[in-house]
């Protein structure tokens, strides 16, 4: 058996159900643990951190074994090179921001390079102006940014984030999300990110692990998993696909911008995005309709040639979820079953997807 770079296997009996997970995640980017409240997401994070002890388990991070019941290995939390950002901003109230940031740094052996790392973290999270303040003098968003920087300053091999935005209001969430995107794009540290917010998944996830009642029900690249038609947690009202694209053109007369993805392009409202900027586009299944021939007289601006990959029953018996492949990318369309029969839709058939609405994820 080959051992993945980052691999987690945990079995832990709980009062309501048993946690039993086994998954790997890549060495970079944000791996989101997604699922409803009580699915066991936080417990996984706590076990990975060693704050809870799953007697039966194995945690390998960056090739290092943190826990393995077979070799009787269990590193205590303080010996695991990790950073942990808790749901509520957990700054030490008896220390100012600088002392909070230095708390972990001082306890890491290689303090010399750590100093640069602290400066980098301060710069990365834009908290240079807050260093002399105490926790109660900061807003919730600022506290969480300091908490993230404090965790990063120790140069962790893994950053664990447990719903870091859940305790914040809408405005604060909007304030922090760009910083998290920056971490994802600029750091080489892998992150395990717990959330039950579809918005955060769409915006932040590179990898998605979907959990339900202690089990992994789907795992993979985010676009892949979101376009799956067999994952019940994902196919709600908000079922839809996620595309990585780049702003490529602008129609100033009609206030539209063109985003190109690997196998096509889509027009969306021009909000003044910079040319060449990387964006994530969210296309909900209910906003995609299907025609068997290329429509010519339609108000719909975005038409994509696709092939039907699969047709699955939706949550209501009148509806079906159709998975479409458009080059390398995947789309979901929600149509009635009558339309499936009327148009004789079936796997492998070439169709046109009409995309009524494209949302820029931000």
Chain residues 225-244 in contact with another protein, contact rule CB under 8 A: none
Residue 113 in the binding site for another protein (CB under 8 A) = no
Measured CA distances, 101 to 36, 65, 87, 152 (Å) = 32, 27, 18, 9
Applying CB under 8 A, among 83, 141, 214, 264 the residue interacting with another protein is 83
Cβ closer to another protein: 78 or 170?
Answer: 78
Q: What mask, x for binding another protein by CB under 8 A, covers residues 38 to 77?
A: -----------xxx------------------------xx
Residue 357 in the binding site for another protein (CB under 8 A) = no
Residue 86 in the binding site for another protein (CB under 8 A) = yes
Residue 92 in the binding site for another protein (CB under 8 A) = yes
Tell me the closest approach of the beta carbon of residue 105 to another protein, in angstroms. 8
Cβ closer to another protein: 77 or 336?
Answer: 77
The 10 Å Cβ neighbour count of residue 236 is 11
Q: Give the number of residues in contact with another protein, rule: CB under 8 A.
A: 24
Tell me the closest approach of the beta carbon of residue 94 to another protein, in angstroms. 4
Applying CB under 8 A, among 125, 146, 151, 161 the residue interacting with another protein is 151
Residue 190 in the binding site for another protein (CB under 8 A) = no
List of residues contacting another protein (CB under 8 A): 49-51, 76-79, 82-84, 86, 90, 92-94, 103-104, 107-108, 136, 150-151, 154, 160
């Amino acid at each position: 058996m080959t051992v993945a770079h980052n691999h987690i296997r945990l079995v832990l009996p709980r009062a309501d159900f048993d946690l039993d997970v086994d998954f790997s995640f890549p060495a970079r980017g944000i791996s989101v643990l997604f699922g409803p409240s009580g699915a066991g997401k936080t417990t996984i994070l706590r076990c990975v951190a060693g704050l809870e002890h799953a007697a039966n388990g194995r945690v390998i991070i960056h090739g290092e074994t943190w826990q393995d019941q077979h070799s009787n290995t269990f590193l205590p939390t303080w010996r695991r090179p990790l950073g942990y950002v808790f749901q509520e901003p957990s700054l030490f109230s008896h220390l100012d921001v600088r002392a909070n940031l230095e708390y972990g740094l001082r306890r890491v052996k290689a303090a010399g390079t750590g100093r640069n790392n602290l400066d980098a973290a301060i710069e990365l999270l834009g908290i240079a102006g807050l260093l002399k303040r105490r926790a109660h003098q900061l807003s919730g968003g600022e506290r969480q940014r300091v908490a993230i920087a404090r965790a990063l300053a120790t140069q962790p091999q893994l950053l664990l984030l447990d719903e870091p935005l859940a305790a914040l209001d809408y405005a604060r969430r909007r304030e922090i999300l760009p910083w998290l995107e920056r971490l994802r794009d600029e750091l080489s540290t892998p992150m395990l990110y717990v959330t039950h917010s579809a918005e955060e998944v769409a915006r932040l996830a590179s990898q998605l692990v979907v959990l339900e009642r202690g089990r992994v029900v789907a795992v993979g690249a985010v676009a892949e998993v979101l376009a799956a038609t067999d994952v019940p947690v994902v196919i709600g009202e908000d079922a839809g696909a996620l595309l990585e694209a780049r702003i490529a053109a602008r129609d100033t007369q009609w206030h539209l911008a063109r985003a190109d993805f690997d196998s096509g392009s889509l027009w969306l409202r021009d909000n003044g995005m910079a040319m060449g900027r990387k964006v994530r586009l969210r296309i909900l299944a209910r906003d995609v309709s299907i025609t068997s021939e290329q429509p010519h007289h339609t108000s719909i601006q975005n038409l994509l040639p696709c092939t039907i990959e699969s047709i699955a029953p939706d949550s209501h018996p009148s509806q079906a979820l159709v998975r479409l492949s458009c080059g390398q990318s995947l789309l979901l369309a929600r149509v009635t079953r009558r339309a499936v029969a009327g148009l004789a839709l079936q796997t492998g058939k070439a169709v046109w997807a009409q995309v009524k609405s494209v949302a820029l994820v931000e």
